[in-house]
Each structure stands twice: as C-alpha cells, then as structure tokens.
Amino acid sequence: MKIALLNPESYFGDPPLGLGYIAAYLKKYSKVPVETGIFDKQNLIAGLKKFKPDVIGCSAVSETFYAANELAKKNQGGN
C-alpha cells in the first residue's frame, strides 16, 4: 500500500516531524507492506502523479488548517 503524507505549507524546508513519526510508525507496525512518501507544496502534483498513492493524509495545524482544507478541496476525486 502506498501512503502519501502531505505538508500543505513549507516554512523551513523540512517535512514536519509529525509526518515523519507517522511514516515510521506505518512502516514498522502495519500488517501490510507500506511505502510512504512525504510531499510539500513544491513537489506536490508531480510527486503525487509519480508516486500514485492508495491513501493520502494531510497534515494540518492551526497555522496551516486553511491551506490544508483548500488543498483537499482542489484535489477531490483525483483531479
């Protein structure tokens, strides 16, 4: 199973630590083989098209909630 974890805003150039924790947990404890990818705004569309995930998760904290919400709305239905 391929799981994409999205960071809707990149402030420091590094993925959020929480997404790294989630990716590591999934790889270690999932009952099925898991491949994860962490994507930010700079490589989002091209990265997702190349990665072809089965599931997409999006990080959101108070500061990025609206950006995450807009990102989800724009990409509903595989658009």
Does 16 score more than 50 pLDDT?
yes
Does 27 score more than 70 pLDDT?
yes
Does 77 score more than 70 pLDDT?
no
User: Across residues 34-51, what is the average pLDDT?
Assistant: 86
Mean pLDDT of the chain: 83
Q: What global pTM score does this model have? A: 0.77
Q: How confident is the model at residue 23 (pLDDT cuts 50, 70, 90)?
A: very high
What is the C-alpha separation between 79 and 67, in angstroms, rounded?
17
Domain boundaries, the chain: 15-78
Return the pLDDT at 10: 65
Nearest-CA neighbor of 47 among 76, 5, 12? 5
